[in-house]
């Protein structure tokens, strides 16, 4: 499973890109707004740092305007993926862009039927929002399973990009459900490393080794 970071925080991206574990980045208008930075400059800086897919979202509501904005965003860098809302106009734009071999990420997916339409429109990625469904008392992870079944039934190439991830448990469950990608905030990525037994075991090893008075280097 690929791991994307859902952020426009350049400090976090620089820190975690060094791990070699980050495959791409997703952004949206809210993330860019919270960063306080210029959209085009921010996307350009991210694309220069991260060589994998970088999702940049259109702001328009009509297909023609979405396509126009997509061309502007795509001109920033070759690894820009155009993020489009799952609306009738959005899927029209998705189909047009896909016909030009421009990669798309159809976002704000909350049902398997929506995911089916996005795949038929040629979406590169579909972004089901797990956490937001959980907030409504529904089982967001069930949606990942349903989309996986549908896509496998018909051989759709659209990749399932699990979004709105709220915990490390969501990451594990997405992987077990067969999501192709998970996009997560930096703080959750960092939490993936940790387990209390790892910390406890390492502390014991360090104490025992210090007691030997030895050094591997000298």
CATH code for the domain in which residue 13 is found: 3.20.20.70
Determine, yes or no, domain membership for 196: yes
In a domain? residue 64: yes
State the DSSP string of 106-157: EEEE-SHHHHHHHHHTT-SEEEEBHHHHHHTTS-HHHHHHHHHHHHHHHT--
Total domains in the chain come to 1
**What separation in angstroms does the CA of 44 have from each of 8, 56, 78?**
11, 10, 10
- Residues tagged active-site: 83
- Looking at the chain, the whole-number percentage of residues with pLDDT higher than 90 is 94
Domain-located, residue 110: yes
Mean pLDDT across the stretch 194-200? 95
Position 35 scores a pLDDT of 86
Give domain status of residue 176, yes or no: yes
Q: How far apart are CA 42 and CA 191, in angstroms?
A: 26
Instruction: Check whether 149 has a pLDDT greater than 90.
Output: yes
Structure confidence by residue, pLDDT tens digits, 14-60: 999 999 999 999 999 889 888 888 999 999 999 999 999 999 999 99
Q: Is residue 97 part of a domain?
A: yes
pLDDT above 90 (res 68) = yes
Angle between helices 63-74 and 88-99 (to 10 degrees): 50
Residue 78 belongs to what domain range?
2-212
In a domain, 218, yes or no: no
What the block records as the tokens of 62 is 């009509």
Does the predicted model carry a pTM greater than 0.85? yes
Asked whether the predicted pLDDT for residue 95 surpasses 80, the reply is yes
Q: Which residues pair with 109 in a beta bridge?
A: 128
């Amino acid at each position: 499973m690929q791991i994307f970071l859902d952020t426009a925080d350049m400090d976090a991206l620089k820190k975690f890109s060094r791990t070699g574990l980050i495959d791409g980045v997703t952004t949206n208008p809210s993330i860019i707004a919270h960063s306080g930075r210029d959209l085009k400059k921010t996307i350009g800086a991210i694309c220069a740092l991260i060589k994998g897919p970088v999702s940049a979202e259109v702001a328009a509501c009509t297909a023609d305007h979405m396509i126009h904005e997509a061309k502007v965003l795509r001109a920033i860098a070759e690894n820009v993926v155009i993020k489009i809302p799952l609306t009738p106009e959005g899927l029209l734009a998705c189909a047009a862009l896909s016909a030009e071999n421009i990669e798309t990420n159809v976002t704000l997916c909350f049902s398997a039927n929506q995911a089916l339409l996005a795949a038929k429109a040629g979406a590169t990625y579909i972004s089901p929002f797990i956490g937001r469904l959980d907030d409504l008392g529904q089982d967001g992870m069930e949606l990942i399973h349903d989309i996986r079944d549908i896509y496998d039934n018909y051989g759709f190439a659209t990749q399932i990009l699990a979004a709105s991830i709220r915990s490390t448990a969501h990451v594990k469950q997405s992987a077990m459900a067969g999501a192709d990608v998970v996009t997560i905030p930096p703080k959750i990525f960092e939490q993936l490393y940790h387990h209390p037994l790892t910390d406890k075991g390492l502390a014991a090893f360090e104490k025992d080794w210090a007691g030997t008075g030895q050094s591997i280097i000298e």
